A and B are shown apart, each in its own frame.
Chain A
Amino acid sequence: MTQPIIEFRNATITYEDRIAVRGITAKIYPGEFIGIIGPNGSGKTTLFRGILGMQSLARGDILVHGRSVRNESKSIRKSVGYLPQRESLDPTVPGLVREVVLMGLYSQIGLFRRPGEKEHEQVRKVLRMVEMEEHIDDPVGHLSGGQQQRVFLARALVSNPDMLLLDEPTSAIDPGTQARLIELISQVQSKLNLTILFITHDVNHLIGRVHRVMYLNQELLGFGPTRDVLKEEILSRVYGQVVRVITLEDGEPCVIVSDSHV
């Protein structure tokens, strides 16, 4: 039987002096595309930081490739591609597209060593994949929001990880650019058979793309295939608002959040 790539074993993660995520038990398998939804402060980002060993585990454990984040977080971090929320990045810091993508290889290259031709070729390859090769010598600060996200996606991919953690990659960009970015992420996922954990506030982004959805609000409220768990009562419970799931003409479901409280 296939071994899970990530296994949460009753994981309770603290953030500062409070419990952010409580008692999560779940398994994620190689090649799965997982959507993670939940309101602000529900522990989604903390869950990612827990997987990377950057947040304390108060109870339980998280295993990545069978290794515990408690004592092998450094090697785990090197095998995971991570795209944090955009506000943590500072595009005013001087940096060309090639330099920013290369940053994804720095931990592999090591201290007191410079990137060589092999690393520069990896950068070109991954920029080609995200259709940004012609911008390789542009300053990142000159790019539009959507283009910057492609560059940061390339940075996460350049070390050939088998898992990507994407924290709201579509926030603060317009709907058209969001759709094209998600399409690109889907293509990359199927082409490389990556395991992807994708945090979003827009449930509709996940429909027809992800294999399973994780509903989180400090605890795991639901985890399963999109259609099975795309239920009005679960979504309403997650967001604290009345949520309707309607079926469009093409048969695809569409989620609408009303302004009424549950």
Chain B
Amino acid sequence: MFDFLQYDFLLRSLIAAVAVGILAPTVGVFLVLRGLSFIGAGIAHAAFAGVTFGFLTGLNPLLMAFIFSVLSTGLIDLTERYGDLKYDAAIGMFFALTMALAIIFIGLMQSYNTEVMGYLFGNILSITRLDILAILLVTVFTLVYVGGVFKELHFIAFDEQLARASGIPVTPIFSGFLLVTSLTIVVSLKSVGVILVFALLVIPAAAAYQLTHRIGVMITWAMIFGVFSTIAGMLLSYYLDLPSGATIVVLNSLVFGIARLFSPKKKKCEPAALDAMEREREKARQEEVPSQTT
């Protein structure tokens, strides 16, 4: 069954699948909880503009992707803060602008570049040793950072203003988080592609949200779903000759559907469930009304 591991490129892909499967959902959980899922798409497109700029100018595409994504994140934040716009409008603006820049950079290239298209759609089977090193470094850095400020990120997701009022340094913590989000997206680009990295950030987190009321458990489930979908997607793409990024996202979506199906949060309308809800309501009411008959 594991005979494919004799191929070096497949072993590298497997390592990348596990690392990206852990990495993307870890940051995705906090993006989903803060209602900032769409920023993943914004950063991914900015990173793609950086990749194309890198190929056009001969500079390192991944470094350019990182610089473009950090710049874009900063500008989105400034536009939201000083432009009297909501976050989604600011993200939408830069999403379109960076994609337009990417198209212009591609247009300026002398010839068709297959590598650029690799970044657009992703190909986990083309991961190099250097890519693996970058993915593993970012994974370790992200896990250390998110683990270190986990409780603060939870507080910020719960109520940013209250966190600020309680003396939590919200701005530096969240800026650091957006930085690791940018790094995550940049190193995941080659595996799942610009268009689909967004899905890997959001869908495992959204699926995990269906299953629990505990944030620690939510992150664990999101990682399990992420790793499962990337490994299974990689194997399916190898054996069935399917595009890896798209296969991973389809599997993720299936996982979300199954999680939703078994979600304890799902509103059920069966008579037994209604009775249980009524009992809970009655219990809560009795707890709030102290006995006045004694």
Contacts and interface: CB of A to CB of B under 8 A. Distances in A.
B166 A90 contact: no
A49 B164 CA distance: 11
B151 A106 contact: yes
Contacts, number: 95
Interface string B132-168: 0000000000000000110110110111011111111
Interface residues of B, number: 32
Contact of B288 (A75, A77, A109, A146): A146
Interface in A94-120: 94-96, 99-100, 102-104, 106-107, 109, 111-112, 114-115
B240 interface: no
Contact of B166 (A49, A82, A88, A147): A82
Contact of B290 (A74, A94, A180): A180
A94 B287 CA distance: 23
B213 A111 contact: no
B218 interface: yes
A99 B150 CA distance: 12
A124 interface: no
Nearest to B290: A180
Contact of A143 (B33, B149, B284, B289): B284
Contact of A107 (B168, B213, B290): B168
Interface residues of A, number: 38
Judged by DSSP, the binding face of A is: helix
A74 B166 contact: no
A112 B166 contact: no
A175 to B, nearest CB: 12
B193 to A, nearest CB: 30
B209 interface: yes
B266 interface: no
A236 B157 CA distance: 41
Contacts of B289: 176
Interface string A61-96: 000000000000011011000101000111001111
B167 A99 contact: no
B253 interface: no
Nearest to A79: B167
Contacts of A253: none
B152 A93 contact: no
Q: Which has the most chain B C-beta neighbours within 10 Å: A103, A111, A146, A177?
A: A103
A93 B214 CA distance: 9
Interface of B: 33, 148-149, 151-152, 154-155, 157-159, 161-168, 173, 209, 212-215, 217-218, 284-285, 287-290
